[in-house]
Amino acid sequence: MVEASISGEKILDGLRVSEDDAINMHEYFQGKIETIPKCWISGLEDFAIWYTPGVTEACRAIIEERDRVFELTLKWNTIAVVSDGTRVLGLGNIGPDAALPVMEGKALLFKYLGGVDAMPLCINLRDEEEIVKVVKAVEPSFGGINLEDIEKPKCFSLLERLKNELSIPVWHDDQQGTATIVCAGLINALKVVGKRLGDVKVAMVGVGAANVSVERLIVKAGVDERKIVMVDSKGILSRSRSDLEKSEPYKWALCLRTNFDGKEGGIAEALDGADVCIAMSRQGPGVIKKEWVKKMNDRAIVFSCANPIPEIWPSEAKEAGAKVVATARSDFPNQLNNSLVFPGIFRGALDVRAKGISDRMCLAAAFEIARMAEEKGLSEEYIVPTMEEWDVYPREAAAAAYEACLEGLARKKTGKEKEYEYAKEIISTARRKFEQLKISGLIRRYKKV
């Protein structure tokens, strides 16, 4: 979500909404999701099937074959959205209570866009060991875990530990989701400007959870890691930054793998001679200056993704010579939005009962997102689909699910076309249910006072 305050109003993903409306609508509906039955109930006698004594047969079946839990319970389609509230949107460390509206909103997006049932799970813990214990303890109830808005460097180690210690997919959207959509955007932006992944020089502004994962995925997509230059708040990552070896080892590893030209300095020097700028740092404008973009190579690409204000305004980047510009905002062309990714990838992972979500699954989804946009016709202002083009979700679900099968991560095998049709039906059914609830009046229309 993009949020900025302007004269007592907020810009929410490009829509001007008063602060009173935002509070009043949340208060009116008292939350955004609820639990309702989906099984057939004709009368109280049906509970002899759904509860005691009939339910014991389902229990016995799972005792005999553990994986039948995916067939006989909600586990096959249910994930937990887990957060400690330490790094929420542009608000920072606000705690689990204040983070709950965000996690609930994430659950709403999961259902509406991917047909995935998601449960917000805000936990009043900060210690990594304790968070790991809690997530491992609740694993039996869920088919996947979405980690959300967790501070670094804890977010890195937490993701890796849980991926290794759980038998269900664990995903951190700030890392994997961001990396997937940026990778898709880069694939198509390079097609627009007529350059190849393996040839371009890439400057990356910001070395947080997002860009660290972006770097890893675009390298796997074909970018030459030696031609990447990364910049944190103290300057370019290089072998001279030996101070990072003990204090921030993940950055030190990047110092050793990137920047083989040995560049030194800051953002200006990193952009000099670069073909691509991927910025995910602090709010702008002015973090990236026009004169720096002018020193980039011809037909340059600028992804300026800070929220809510990008590091440089798209108009300024264009005036400085950038050919393709993208942001995280919906009120500019080329929105690189995680919401294009996580509902579809999780849909595919859940449908094949995946044991994890790999980088290759993310790459498969990224190339499918890029392919869909290319089929519709690429341009300087259209490099990825929009959220309204909802066929992107079953398509990436199919790509991710099929890749999981190829990698041996799937408990349930499928074909790409079969999964596409299956995912499309689940997602369209979720959307139809929502529309019917509105039409029937069971979801009441909010009326502005």
Token readout for 203 is 């400057």
- 323: Cα within 13 Å, side-chain hemisphere: 19
Q: Give me 127's structure tokens.
A: 């210690």
Q: Which amino acid is at 424?
A: K
Supply 324's token pair.
């393709």
Pairing of strands 235-236, 322-326: unpaired
Of the candidates 343, 335, 280, 305, the one whose C-alpha atom is nearest the C-alpha of residue 152 is 280
Q: Which helix (H) or strand (E) holds 65?
A: none
Q: How far apart are CA 7 and CA 211, in angstroms?
A: 32
**What is each CA distance from 279 to 238, 263, 312, 324, 339, in whole angstroms?**
18, 18, 9, 14, 19
User: Which of 28, 38, 51, 111 is an active site residue?
Assistant: 51
- Helix, strand and coil content of the chain, in percent to the nearest 5, comes to 50, 15, 35
Task: Answer whether 14's CB lies under 8 Å from 2's CB.
Answer: yes
The DSSP result for 176-187, as a single string, is IIHHHHHHHHHH
- At 426 the three-state DSSP class reads helix
Distance, in Å, from the CA atom of 381 to the CA atom of 318, rounded to the nearest integer, reads 12
Q: Specify whether 424 is catalytic.
A: no
From 186, 158, 223, 173, select the one nearest 303 (Cα to Cα).
Answer: 186
Distance CA 207, CA 213 (A): 9
Active site residue 382: no
Coil, helix or strand at residue 274: coil
Q: Annotated catalytic residue: which of 75, 106, 111, 195?
A: 106
CA 388 to chain CA centroid, Å, is 17
Name the residue type at position 308: P
Give the residue numbers marked as catalytic.
Answer: 51, 106
